Structure 1
Amino acid sequence: MTPHRGRGARDVQIATSTPPRGGRSAHQAGNTALASSRATALIGTTLLVIGVALAAANLRPAVTSLASVLEQVRGSVGASHAWASALTALPALCFGAAGVLAPRLNRHFGLARAVGGALVLLTTGLALRVVDGAVVVLSGTLLACAGIALGNVLIPVVIKQSYPDRLGVVTGVYMGALAGGGALGAALTPSMADATGSWRLALGAWALLAAAAVVLWVAGARHADVVAAQPPPPRRSLLRNRLAWTVTVFFGLQALVAYVIMGWLPEVLIESGVDRTTAGLYLAICTLFGVPTGLFLPPLAVRMRSQSLLIAVLTLIGGLGIVGLLIAPGAAPLAWTVLAGFGMGVFPLVITVIALRTDHPADTASLSAMAQSLGYLLAACGPFLFGLLRGITGGWTASLVLVLVVTVIQAAVGYAAGRPRTV
């Protein structure tokens, strides 16, 4: 798979010169003007696509694997319920904070090294968190989530830069691998813990997958070429850009709803009469909807001039699932789960929208960092408020009404974010 000219041709055009070896070529060194108009870009090979997919498959198991054995881990290390609450809130908070660093790392080290460093950080955190007690588990998870946050921001930039004519297809591969990895983390970890008799071995095994991603990324990202590109736009803050804020709020609201569903759906279903094992299975089904939506929606969205209607319809379908849980949760729990899963399928669209609402990879990185850093901080409020309302009212009605209101607002904001324009 090689890059072609197309929508991204105004961003990156592959020159015919030979790739530099061991740094800048003699010709570049002797011609400052030419050097200033050239840079290096990762060549969009098939191996790089595989590297992107394997990296994406590692961006969720760190969270879902731990969630699936959380009570076992908490009891083993002698931690409190407050510690467990902090641990479950850590990913979203970390995603928001660490994502701010991604554009700086991109500028200073380049995409290949920045993504590679993120994967190394992830691998280190996954290995560290299983060697000791509560503090080490928390610290290792923090490192792993920091690596995930950087990958969340940087990998879409790789796709934007290296596959301008295959933006939808490669984004679909990325999103499908992301959802698949998360589902595997939740589904396989309890079985591995039972088979090995140790939650440490079960969680530590995911460090091996992350290490494999590091190796494959190094192999796939070593191919770069000299590119002739338009000069990057002057460095500017997007904080005063209305469209950037629209995309950011859209990202935050869909993440808020997704984190509420992933964190609380089993408890809602259990109180409606569903047994705990089946409730967990329903959550797995809900999560797995990210695989087909991740594979098929981005290519469809890229071919559409406006993504507004697709975003609004998918969001409102998810809202029907929330209505079902609110009115008659025990009547058709599988149906409500399926509808909620469709609604969570809007996540691949918001990632695609970040790329489509920008004209230059530098803007893609900036918008991705802004949307994910501020958006995840907004999302972290959702599970907390959902549980707080449950504790105050003694039921789920107020909590579900809150999520339903957020879903309606998300549909409106997402419709605006899907309109064809750029920051």
Structure 2
Amino acid sequence: MLSTPLLVVGVALAAANLRPAVTSMASVLGDVRDALGASAAWTSVLTAVPTICFGLAAIAAPWLGRRVGMARAIGGALAVLTAGLVLRIIDGPWVVLGGTFIATAGIAIGNVLIPVVVKESFPHAVGRVTGIYTAALAAGGGIGAGLTPPLVPLLDSWRGAVGAWALLSAAALVVWMFGARHGSAADVPAPATSGPPRSMLRRPLAWAVTAFFGLQACVAYVAMGWLSELFVSEGISRTDAGLMLALINLIGIPLSFVIPPIALNRNSQSGWIVGLAAFSLAAVIGLAVAPAAAPWLWSVMLGIGMGVFPLALGVIALRTRAASETTDLSAMAQGVGYLIGAAGPFLFGMLHGVTGSWTPSLVLLGGVIVVEMVVGWIVGRPRFV
């Protein structure tokens, strides 16, 4: 693909649809659970489904990109996402789970392939375009969290409020088809790998990058899946809790424009990774000690901490020499990494369900962040897989 401004717009609009499917449901999770008469276990599974699917579908993404071409693969991902968003609002608990799995399968393909498009089409502007991509992703997540609760009374049910996001993904599909066509000389397949498909599995740094990606995903999806419910249980209104969840995502917009162009152009990203993760750790400590004392502050700090996500994407490109390696490392880091991350929302919810307290869950999350900081320091050092 040629690096045209129109392609940048296409990347941004596609990225904007990679989080509303998750944050829109999370912001009205209590309403959905009550309306469906679902159990706590079902709710925990629902919060874990996105990351499980991100992992499983990400493994197939490189094959799909090579088979049909990058532009068609991402367009197909947006079509699958739209279908899943519609499906999950038409029936009961199991259909909700199935539709969510389908929708997040589309997201998983975009998660893996869009960074490869950035690497191939903007080799001298990886930091800047990664910033645009992650800013759009954060904006989509924030808007999905902030607007869905007010849409419930407006559209008479959670189904209408959650299903409305299919319109956004359908619109993005149309724009992507136009933008990708005009942003490429020909929709050629992604380059073939230079070695065996499993070659990354024998590279220690690839495993470190994968672990780092999985740990930061664990923190992010616990926040997106459970933070709103935590605040509501502390007496905060659902609308305000949704706005706090939106704030966590929206803080990523300015951070995405500022941090990647600076951090990804330095020899080492270790200090940036540890510094950002320290904000998440401080927020989790605050939530454990006094969750209702300063919920907006905890939300701001957690949002800053989640600014590590663009660096998690950026090191995938920085630790590889060729686009084929980037594709394989992206698939491994996101495929295995999201499966690691899926354990976070599930265990966080189950611990709360068993103990009746958020404290054990928050202690577990704090431990995950400490390990994330250690592994992040390792992968931030300048070297190649």
- Per the TM superposition, whether the score is higher than 0.5 is yes
8 Å CA contact retained: 1:301, 1:352 = no
Deviation readout 1:272-301 (Å, 9 max, x if unpaired)? 565554444333222222211222211112
Q: CA deviation at 1:180?
A: 0.5
CA offset at residue 268 of structure 1? 4.0
Q: Does 1:404 align with 2:370?
A: no
1:321 and 1:224 mapped to 2: Cα distance? 44
In the alignment, which residue of structure 2 is the partner of 1:203? 162
User: Whole-Å Cα distance in 1 between the matches of residues 79 and 228 of structure 2?
Assistant: 33
Alpha carbons of 1:190 and 1:239: their partners in 2 closer, same or farther (altered >3 Å)?
Answer: same
1:381 to 338, 343, 359: 343
Task: Give the Å deviation of 1:86.
Answer: 2.4
CA distance 1:204–1:259, shift in 2 (3 Å): closer
1:367 equivalenced with 2:326 (yes/no):
no
Q: Confirm or deny that 1:44 pairs with 2:3.
A: yes
What residue in structure 2 maps to residue 233 of structure 1? 194
C-alpha change, 1:131 and 1:398, in structure 2 (3 Å) is: closer
* Distance (Å, rounded) in 2 between the aligned partners of 1:267 and 1:200: 19
Q: Does 1:224 align with 2:179?
A: no
- Distance in structure 1 (CA, Å) of the matches to 2:355 and 2:262: 43
1:56 is matched with 15
Deviations 1:246-273, CA, capped at 9 Å, x for gaps:
1001011111112222233344445556
Residue 418 (structure 1) aligns with: 380
- TM-score normalised by L of structure 1: 0.84
**Any gaps of 5 or more consecutive residues in structure 1?**
1-41
The gaps in structure 2 that reach 5 residues or longer are none
Distance in 1, Cα, partners of 2:257 & 2:310: 9
Structure 2 distance, partners of 1:381, 1:415, is 23
> For the Cα contact (< 8 Å) 2:26–2:224, is it kept in 1?
no
CA shift at 1:209, angstroms? 1.3
Q: Deviations over 1:215-240 (max 9, x none)?
A: 1111111143379x998522342111
What is the distance in 2 between the residues matched to 1:330 and 1:134?
31
**Structure 1 pair 388–129 and aligned structure 2 pair: CA distance change class (3 A):** closer
SS of 1:419 mapped into structure 2 = coil
* Aligned counterpart, 1:146: 105
Return the offset for 1:81: 4.3
TM-score normalized by the length of structure 2: 0.91
Following TM superposition, by how much is the alpha carbon of 1:319 offset from its aligned partner in structure 2, in angstroms? 1.2
8 Å CA contact 1:45, 1:220 repeated in 2: no
Q: Distance in 2 between matches of 1:84 and 1:264?
A: 10
Equivalent position amino acid for 2:15 in 1: A
- Give me the whole-angstrom Cα distance separating, in 2, the residues matched to 1:134 and 1:272: 26
Aligned to 2:117: 158
Q: Please, which moves more after superposition, 75-84 or 176-185? A: 75-84
The correspondence of residues 7-46 of structure 1 with structure 2, limited to 5 A, is 42-46=1-5
The range that moved more, 270-279 or 152-161, is 270-279
Residue 94 of structure 1 pairs with residue 53 of structure 2: yes
Q: CA deviation at 1:78?
A: 5.1
Question: How many angstroms does 1:105 deviate by?
Answer: 0.7
Q: More displaced, 71-80 or 127-136?
A: 71-80
Q: Does 1:121 align with 2:105?
A: no
Q: 1:137: how far off?
A: 2.6
Write out per-residue CA displacement over residues 172-228 of structure 1, whole angstroms, 9 at most, x where no aligned residue: 11101101001111111222221122333323321121111111111111143379x
2:273 is the alignment partner of 1:311: yes
Q: C-alpha deviations, 1:27-76, integer Å up to 9, x for none?
A: xxxxxxxxxxxxxxx11111111111110011111111122233433444
Point out the structure with max Rg over C-alpha.
Answer: 1
Residue identity matched to 1:180: A
Aligned match for 2:205, one of 230, 238, 243: 243
Counterpart of 1:292, as a letter, is P
SS in 1 for 2:164: helix
After superposition, the CA RMSD in angstroms is 2.3
Corresponding residue pairs, total: 381
Are residues 133 and 397 of structure 1, via their aligned partners in 2, closer, same or farther at CA, if it must alter by over 3 Å? closer
Structure scoring higher RCO (CA < 8 A, sep ≥ 6) equals 2
Tell which deviates more after alignment, 380-389 or 121-130.
380-389
Residues 298-337 of structure 1 mapped to structure 2, 5 A cutoff? 298-337=260-299
Which is further off, 321-330 or 378-387?
321-330
2:130 aligned residue (152, 166, 171) = 171
Quick check: 1:289 aligned with 2:251?
Answer: yes
Out of 357, 360, 370, which is 1:395 matched to?
357
How far is 1:160 from its partner? Answer: 0.6
Q: Take 1:138 and 1:270, find their aligned partners in 2: how far apart are those partners?
A: 23
Q: Is the 8 A contact 2:135 2:252 kept in 1?
A: yes
* 1:103 corresponds to: 62
Residue 224 of structure 1 aligns to a residue whose secondary structure is coil
Aligned to 2:171: 212
- Higher-helix-fraction structure: 2
- Partner amino acid for 1:141? T
Q: How far is the alpha carbon of 1:385 from its aligned partner?
A: 2.3
